[in-house]
Structure 1
């Protein structure tokens, strides 16, 4: 069975979906039954990485159109069906991580990856050593989730005072930027942010506050780098809360979080492109 035939079988459900009134109901039905035509014991297909990846991408494209409960149940059903073949199960886990968790993936979304992680850490197919990595990923994904209050931390200001995240005045939105002045990519992103006209307009109108926190270890280097940051930004030096206490996990640098005025997470680990789109909404 080719991938085209498999996708065609999935599309045939459209005829069944007519009685379902809303697009969300139809998407939920299709998501639930997406893998019905695949027998995971048929290793010719379930172990075929190209076949599985093509269909997973189509499967993931349905996620934004359904409620979280339907998405969680669909992932649970998929992973439990895949347990009949350990190789196929590992392939699914790897591809889900590649597309939903890897920073820079166009489909990256930790909320979508969390149900996969919850199934993986509970499976009997993997030993405890192997599952320890997925437990770490799950722990990281559950930190500072969108919709939750951002974890507070203490930082040092350029004038030597100690401040906390929750004392930062932000009327509408707060862009939290974690960076290392010794990081080339950090400097590139800072330049891009400081020259983005839409961000500048938001800052000038008071709709956006930027807090740039240095998480590098060299305080002298941080002091020297302050001249390269826009004067309208608030800046600080991590006093150990962020990295040492792992209040925020920073797999890549720089890392940005978009918060609302109450310090609730709007976007976690947001890319520059995602940030600019969100700011212009």
Structure 2
């Protein structure tokens, strides 16, 4: 089956499944206008999929076309509808599900257009921004993608008419999101390992380095670190000297670190930060643990992937989509 047919079929299936009813075209009103959300009956309607010209044959072009016209059936002047969180959330999720199928370079103007239309109502714009943050930036979101979130923040800051006060939060979040992105050199810092040796990140040797920021007082950290320690993929790479691990505690409680440092695997380098990483905001650490994968030159390969994404990448698969 052709990839574009698979794409359209997948998107239609997603919308049907998410709406729990029928597809967007079948939910159109009697006069051909999209039906409004009906929360009294528990329905969450979805916008109709736009038509794709037959001349667009490449899957990426077809996906970009759907993204470009996704919100055409939405009247952002209808405050009852654009302030309906259930309706906006379901459609926003459907919208985001298209992004991986289109070239990233095609996305900014379409995101800009969505934000410009939502800006007609400040409450609606706040809702769209809240949904973008929730789905693209929240640590536990299955749709989390910092690169897409950066596009939304950049688009928001391009909006005309934003006051200086309104720019503070997105500007700060954008600054933090841009730190240590994949393809950039990871910020250097000093640390002391559990044997008392003082080193720097950039002087740490290894073909690839799994950099872990952790908190020994965090039970969730322990579960994730235990999973990484028992991963067959990671264990095998360490044994073959293809991967090294550096676990860094950043909160500064030396007594806690000294009491717990021996509990981490012997084959890992376990360290305490000496560069005030948190205070100086050298890295964005939204929720511990935070995972980075670096190459031998300390270029960031992965930024805060899930353990599943990390394993898939290390095993040669594609765990990022």
TM-score (norm 1): 0.91
Q: Please name the residue that 1:258 is paired with.
A: 293
Unaligned runs of 5+ in 1: none
- Return the structure number with greater relative CO, CA threshold 8 A, min gap 6: 1
SS at match of 1:191: helix
TM alignment of 1:80-229, pairs within 5 A? 80-123=116-159, 127-171=163-207, 173-229=208-264
Shift of 1:66: 1.6
Deviations 1:138-193 (A, max 9, x none): 1111111122111111111223232111111121x221101122222222222221
RMSD: 1.9
Indicate conservation of the 8 Å contact 2:191/2:273, yes or no: yes
Question: Are the equivalent residues in 1 in contact too, given 2:46–2:87 (CA < 8 A)?
Answer: no
| C-alpha contact (below 8 Å) 2:221/2:288 kept by paired residues | yes
Of 13, 23, 31, 2:51 maps to 13
Q: Which moved more, 1:69-78 or 1:125-134?
A: 125-134
Q: What is residue 50 of structure 1 aligned with on the other side?
A: 86
SS at match of 1:244: helix
| Cα drift, residue 266 of structure 1 | 1.8
Give the match for residue 27 of structure 1.
63
1:86-114: CA deviation from partner (whole Å, max 9, x where unpaired): 11111111111111111110000111011
Change (3 A) 1:137 1:97: same
Distance 1:86 1:124 in 2: 13
Cα offset, 1:37, TM superposition: 1.7
Q: How many residues align?
A: 276
1:5 deviates by: 6.8
SS across alignment from 1:243: helix
For structure 2, which runs of at least 5 residues remain unmatched after alignment?
A: 1-34, 38-43
Query: What TM-score, normalized to structure 2?
Result: 0.80
Taking the aligned partners of 1:141 and 1:217, their CA distance within structure 2 comes to 24
